[in-house]
A and B are shown apart, each in its own frame.
Chain A
Amino acid sequence: MDNTNGKPIVEISGLNFWYGPKQALFDINLAIQPNRTTALIGPSGCGKSTLLRCLNRMNDLNDEQRIEGNIVMHGMNIRHPEVDVIELRKRVGMVFQKSNPFPKSIFDNVAYGLRIQGSKKNHLEERVESSLRRAALWEEVKDRLQESALSLSGGQQQRLCIARTIAVEPDVMLMDEPCSALDPTATAKIEELIQDLKRYYTIIIVTHNMQQATRCSDFTGFFYLGRLVEFDSTNRIFTNPANKQTEDYITGRFG
């Protein structure tokens, strides 16, 4: 399994995860390469979103959860009790399935995280513009920054959420089915954006859309019943997977 062609930004080892009595992840070992897009695929309930949520400790919000194993980012185990979770979530941003802009202006949505950090006004405007540009939304909203974010289309709202995540300069961006509610045109824009953004960030995307995985990712991991069945370059996974279960899943002969 060739997933170590550089020094990884995130190293997951021996990761087990339970929701109450139910084990959702089994002994996950995975190295995420920096400035690459990694796609996590697999049938519903296979654990891919659970893994995603382990990476910014979103699962901490669930009292019933239990976790074992290590997730090392920049040499630091993010599960260590002294890790500042707020700081972690700044470094590991997340974009959700359904866009979730705040009921505020377009500008304020992007500026939100920066204001919490105490950014000065001039700096704030600059960062809002650069974030919107990186999210390929600036040209569409530059003349209406004070309008409500809710006035944007679904695709624009999702790019706004990406801009909001970018604004605090994360290292890693987690995307959980970011296009599942979007039409093909809006999806194509987000996919293009993902290709551009990996120059600056490491992206991990959960998707049910295998074409999307082939179009946007460099590496793909196939999950089934809480286990990482196969992880390799996207090219390899979709042309010559090593595992029969992976082959069956990607060729639509699963189950």
Chain B
Amino acid sequence: MELHFDQELAQLKEKLLLMSSLTEHNVALAIRALVERDDVAAAKVERDDDLLDKLEIEIDGLGIRLLALRQPKASDLRLITTAMKISTDLERMGDRAVTISRRAVELNKEPELKPLVDIPRMAEICQSMIRDTLDAFVYQKTDLARQMIQRDNEVDQLNRKVQSDLTELMLRDSQTIVRGLKLMRVAQSLERIGDHTGNIAEEIVYLYEARDIRHHQETVAA
């Protein structure tokens, strides 16, 4: 017998998956806007971000309702509380995609500063992290979720390299400062997207293993 509650939980999961794939798509579009100097892609990011905001509100609303009306326990409780946290991370990732696409539109109006190497590499890692995190969520692969924390370190390292390279460039040539600062912002946004993906991966471990692995520690719930 399928419970009404199970249907509501399935609905929550569905919304979360939709939000995750939309976020992945938006990050990809924002990077395309930058790398391929594609303003149409940038406009689409802005538009889809409204959908992400709406989904975040819907997930939170459903989560609050289920907490209040169903008094969930054990894995149900973990699913609802994690879904609400994951949706916040996804919404913020969406905002970062918007930041990237806005900087892209500004940069597209000017000559290319330099061929981009590390930023596309960062974007590639971030996108694969989002995809794998989504897989970890759907297929309950906590090992895969744990790997995300390592991959986030790669993104952090690349960000440090980008910041230092751009600083050097701007020191050498003041004409590059405005564009350099915008690219720095793009790299920082990708770095934050990596962090949010890492947070989601930690939430997935909590969801399926009831282990809290945040802040480099590991505790079993309760």
Contact = CB atoms under 8 A, between A and B. Distances in A.
Contact of B77 (A210, A236, A239, A253): A239
Nearest to A234: B222
A238 interface: yes
Interface stretch (B66-74, B164-172, B191-199): B66-74
7 contacts: A233-B222, A239-B221, A240-B210, A247-B74, A251-B73, A251-B74, A253-B6
Contact of A250 (B73, B221, B222): B73
A235 B222 contact: yes
Nearest to A241: B74
B182 interface: no
A240 B5 contact: no
Nearest to A253: B3
A91 B197 CA distance: 57
Contact of A211 (B3, B71, B78): B71
Interface string B3-28: 10110000000000000000000000
Contact of B222 (A236, A247, A251, A252): A236
B178 interface: no
B71 A239 contact: no
Interface of B: 3, 5-6, 71-78, 210, 220-222
The A interface is mostly helix, strand or loop, or mixed, namely helix
B123 to A, nearest CB: 37
Interface in A161-216: 210-211, 214
Given A233-B222, A236-B221, A239-B78, A210 B3 contact: no
Contacts of B6: 253
Contacts of B221: 236, 239-240
A214 B74 CA distance: 12
Interface residues of A, number: 15
B3 A239 contact: no
Q: Give the 5 A-B CB pairs with smallest separation, nearest first.
A: A240-B210, A235-B222, A236-B222, A240-B221, A250-B73
Interface of A: 210-211, 214, 233, 235-236, 238-241, 247, 250-253
B147 to A, nearest CB: 23
Contacts of A250: 73-74
A239 B73 CA distance: 6
A210 B77 CA distance: 14
Contact of B3 (A214, A233, A252): A252
B196 to A, nearest CB: 25
Contacts, number: 38
B5 A239 contact: no
Nearest to B221: A240
B74 A240 contact: yes
Given A239-B74, A241-B74, 6 more contacts: A236-B222, A239-B78, A239-B221, A240-B210, A251-B72, A252-B3
B95 to A, nearest CB: 31
B75 A247 contact: yes
A240 B72 contact: no
A212 B73 CA distance: 13
A236 B210 CA distance: 10
Contacts of B78: 239-240
A233 B222 CA distance: 8
A19 B75 CA distance: 37
A235 B6 CA distance: 23
A240 B76 contact: no
A252 B222 CA distance: 21
B28 to A, nearest CB: 36
A251 B73 CA distance: 6
Contact of A238 (B5, B73, B220): B73
Contacts of B76: 251
B74 A238 contact: yes
A246 to B, nearest CB: 8
Contacts of A211: 71
B85 to A, nearest CB: 15
A240 B222 contact: yes
Contacts of A235: 222
A239 B210 contact: yes
A211 B68 CA distance: 12
